[in-house]
Amino acid sequence: MEKYKKILVAVELNSKTDKKIIKEVLALNKKMKAELFFIHGVEYISGYGYGLPYSPVMGAEMEEVLLQHVKKEMGKLGKDLDIDQKHQIIKIGIAKFIILEEAEKIKADLIVVGSHGRHGVRMLLGSTANAVLHGAKCDVLAVRLEDK
């Protein structure tokens, strides 16, 4: 098995889904002793695509509230796993693009993503995992998540 030095782990900050991803990463990293980076993308909030009646200003306010919540949750995860704050990455944008950009930025050897895999032609992986797999310049581990 290849020795990974930097592993980027995409998390949803959902204890149920992240639990399995984190378990897999920690088991893998017992052997690798890699630098772990955790990333979460806060998707843009726009009412226009969904016919919702709020303005861009309201969307920005909601994004800020969501961002504060995400920072709090990422901080808890970092504390629980003893992950340095500089290895906790939170960005606003489309998750698949954020993951790929940060992987290149930190020179990740491996990206770990969860895969719900429940949408049409993307049934095997899911849209974010599929985009990361096909866009990454490093190895990708897709951890199958159960939908209950």
Q: Secondary structure of 36-79 in the HEC alphabet? A: EEEEEEECCCCCHHHCCCCCHHHHHHHHHHHHHHHHHHHHHHHH
Which domain covers residue 78, as residue numbers? Answer: 6-144
Q: What 3-state DSSP class applies to 147? A: coil
What pLDDT does residue 117 have? 60
What pLDDT does residue 128 have? 85
pLDDT one-digit tens code per residue, 52-107 = 555 555 566 777 888 899 999 999 999 999 999 999 999 988 999 999 999 999 99
Q: Could you tell me if residue 10 is inside a domain?
A: yes
Q: Could you tell me if residue 56 is inside a domain?
A: yes
**What is the CATH classification number for the domain harbouring 82?**
3.40.50.620
Q: What's the whole-model pTM score?
A: 0.84
High-pLDDT (> 70) share of the chain, %: 80
Number of domains in the chain: 1
pLDDT one-digit tens code per residue, 25-37 = 999 999 889 999 9
* Nearest CA among 2, 4, 6 for reference residue 108: 6
How far is residue 113's CA from residue 142's CA, in Å, rounded to a whole number? 5
What pLDDT does residue 120 have? 46
Token reading at 112: 């770990």
